[in-house]
Amino acid sequence: MANMCPYGRFTHAVVRGIPETFGKAVGDGGKNGETSVDLAKAQRQFGCLTGALRQKVGLQLIEIPPDPELPESWRIEDVAVIQGDTALITRPFKQQRRSEVEAVRRVVSELNLTVVEMGAEEGGSGGATLEGSDVLFTGREFFVGISSHTNHRGAEVLADTFRDFAVSTVPVCGGARLRNICSMGGPDTIIINNSDGAKKTLRMMEQLTDHHYEVLTVPEESAANCIYIKGPSKLDFLLHRPAEECPDSVSAFQKLQDYTLLPTACSEASKLGASLSSLCLLINRKHTYF
């Protein structure tokens, strides 16, 4: 299938800038207020990430300008799940985040992706919620983490959207979100952290899958979220947290042979429960049929 190529081929990345309201999530009130985030640093790190994607990996970068009204809009991963030429516009858990989807919808439409609205299903009700950070696509199948932000109904909509693939639900134990505890580290490699909860989730994934994945375990919880891209240059790139943030995990990444490792800092977004992959949507516009 056009859709069935190995994981990691991307041509475009969509990102959204860090607004000055960064860290001041509406409705979260004082909770995040206590977390001191460094806006300038966050923006610098954002710049580094986008620079790496564009210049090192060689993706075409589409940057949606920040919107101060939407303090969490930089977590662009949450608002769409894109596979092949289909983009599922999600329905985030928080009411105030749901307007974040509009800008993203415009962009993916312009990229000629087939847009599927989760809100459209059942008139937006039915209680379906889904956020991209609970979705792990492996190239062969989807795993949807059932978390505080993503429910079964949301997973069903996703399954209905991407019908070619098995969509399995797994409990998210180790962290708030599925993508916090695991990510793809190659076409058949899952990077996962060492926590008990993550292991439990991994076991479930292993039980549910028909495929065999290599598993790369990293000691630090936050290290498990990486971005793997096989860029236009056909090289394997892995964006991962740098040694300053995850000193013990770097050696694990070095086991990946012939990879170009791109340490990318993400400390500020991380303070808000996000991670590297939260900041971008990856798209492959070059479908190859066979």
Q: DSSP per residue over 149-203, as a string? A: S--HHHHHHHHHHSTTSEEEEEE--SSSSHHHHEEEEETTEEEEE-SHHHHHHHH
Residue span 130-149 as binding mask against another protein, x where in contact by CB under 8 A, dash where not? -----------x--x-x---
Minimum distance from residue 96 beta carbon to another protein (Å): 23
Say whether residue 120 binds another protein (CB under 8 A).
Answer: no
Minimum distance from residue 215 beta carbon to another protein (Å): 13
Beta strands in the chain (DSSP E): 12-16, 60-64, 80-83, 86-89, 114-117, 135-137, 141-146, 166-171, 182-186, 189-193, 214-218, 227-230, 236-240, 259-263, 280-283
With respect to another protein, which residue has the nearer C-beta, 107 or 167?
167
With respect to another protein, which residue has the nearer C-beta, 146 or 235?
146
- Binders of another protein among 73-102, rule CB under 8 A? 84-86
Considering only 169, 189, 222, 284, the residue that binds another protein (CB under 8 A) is 169
Q: HSE, CB side, 13 Å, CA atoms: give it for residue 180.
A: 20
DSSP 3-state of 211: coil
Minimum distance from residue 1 beta carbon to another protein (Å): 5
Considering only 64, 167, 184, 238, the residue that binds another protein (CB under 8 A) is 167
Q: Which residues bind another protein (CB under 8 A)?
A: 1-4, 84-86, 114, 141, 144, 146, 151-152, 155-156, 159-171, 203-204, 207-210, 212, 287, 289-290
